[in-house]
């Protein structure tokens, strides 16, 4: 199984509009971070995790020509507002794209994107909208999506839950501030952990900072950890030198080889 980091930035992305800080002006491509997105690839199948605003550019850059299903972690704009880019896949498939979202988020998703989910709204002749087969999940559920078998995990993220998963030796915490109860138990002893980490120092109410993410990785016993959802307060090369062994920052375009999922 192969893990693609398609985007590793926060809702602002990096460079941040109008910012002239060292990281935003950096020529290191690893400091250029589009909004967060992952793709899992195995035996020619691709599971997309989130649909951020740069989705088309991310998939073109990664050379991923098709997907088999999409998993939405939550409905914050930086994780879902590229949903229209799924249109090309439903056209090519001549069938809806399977999408999985938490049951508690369905109503908001359907309300926000009525042109996709309201069956009474037909596209104008000669035009199209994404066709999506919407499926729901709940925390702790075991899912089989496009041949990938995963356990859904919930993480507190401000006023909502964000959802990640464990699949084989991989644990994914896209957004979140804590790993509690069933989710923590499911991630114990994980081989590879992907976890959000905004910056050093200042605590954030809905995300881990770097110190918190590193501590959690150690508590879980992760053999290797990739930090993602990084802000412009983190320079890639500098961060790399300060992290403990087994913990690395991710970057847009990074591909990691994993065991079977």
Alpha-carbon gap, residue 235 to 80, rounded angstroms: 26
Average pLDDT over every residue of 250-261: 90
Per the document, the length of the chain is 261
Name the residue among 35, 17, 25, 76 with its Cα closest to residue 252.
Answer: 35
Where are the domains positioned within the chain?
A: 2-257
Decide if pLDDT at 122 tops 90: no
Decide if pLDDT at 260 tops 70: no
- Token reading at 126: 């000669």
Whether the model clears a pTM of 0.75, i.e. scores above it, the answer is yes
CATH architecture of the domain 2-257 equals: 4-Layer Sandwich (3.60)
For the chain, strand residue ranges (E) read 2-7, 37-42, 45-49, 69-71, 97-102, 132-137, 142-145, 148-157, 160-167, 170-173, 192-196, 224-228, 247-249, 255-257
Average pLDDT over every residue of 221-249: 98
Strand bridging mode 247-249 / 142-145: unpaired
pLDDT at 125: 87
Which residue is listed with tokens 């080889």? 257
Alpha-carbon gap, residue 205 to 158, rounded angstroms: 7
Model pLDDT for residues 207-231, shown as the tens digit of each residue: 999 999 999 999 999 999 999 999 9
CB 226 within 8 A of CB 249: yes
**What radius of gyration do the chain's Cα atoms show?**
18
- Token reading at 232: 């412009």
Which residue is listed with tokens 């990084």? 230
CB 52 within 8 A of CB 58: yes
Which residue is listed with tokens 């990281």? 23
Name the residue among 212, 195, 214 with its Cα closest to residue 204.
Answer: 212
Model pLDDT for residues 144-202, shown as the tens digit of each residue: 999 999 999 999 999 999 999 999 999 999 999 999 999 999 999 999 999 999 999 99
């Amino acid at each position: 199984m192969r893990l693609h980091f398609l985007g590793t930035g926060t809702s602002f992305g990096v460079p941040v509009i109008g910012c002239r800080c060292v990281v935003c002006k950096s020529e290191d491509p690893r400091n250029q971070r589009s909004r967060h997105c992952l793709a899992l690839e195995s035996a020619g199948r691709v599971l997309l995790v989130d649909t951020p605003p740069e989705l088309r550019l991310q998939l073109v850059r990664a050379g991923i020509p098709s997907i088999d299903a999409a998993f939405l972690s939550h409905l914050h704009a930086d994780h879902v507002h590229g949903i229209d880019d799924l249109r090309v896949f439903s056209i090519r498939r001549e069938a809806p794209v399977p999408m999985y979202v938490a049951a508690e988020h369905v109503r908001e998703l359907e309300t926000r994107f009525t042109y996709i989910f309201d069956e009474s709204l037909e596209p104008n002749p000669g035009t199209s909208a994404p066709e999506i087969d919407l499926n729901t999940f709940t925390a702790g559920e075991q899912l089989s999506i496009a041949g990938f078998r995963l356990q859904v995990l919930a993480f507190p993220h401000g006023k909502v839950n964000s959802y990640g998963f464990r699949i084989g030796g991989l644990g994914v915490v896209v957004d979140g501030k804590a790993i509690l109860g069933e989710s923590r138990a499911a991630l114990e002893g994980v081989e590879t952990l992907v976890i959000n980490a905004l910056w050093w120092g200042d605590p954030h109410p809905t995300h881990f900072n770097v110190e918190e993410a590193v501590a959690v990785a150690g508590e879980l016993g992760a053999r290797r950890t990739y930090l993602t959802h990084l802000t412009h307060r983190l320079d890639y090369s500098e961060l790399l030198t300060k992290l403990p062994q087994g913990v690395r920052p991710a970057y847009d375009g990074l591909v990691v080889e994993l065991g079977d999922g």
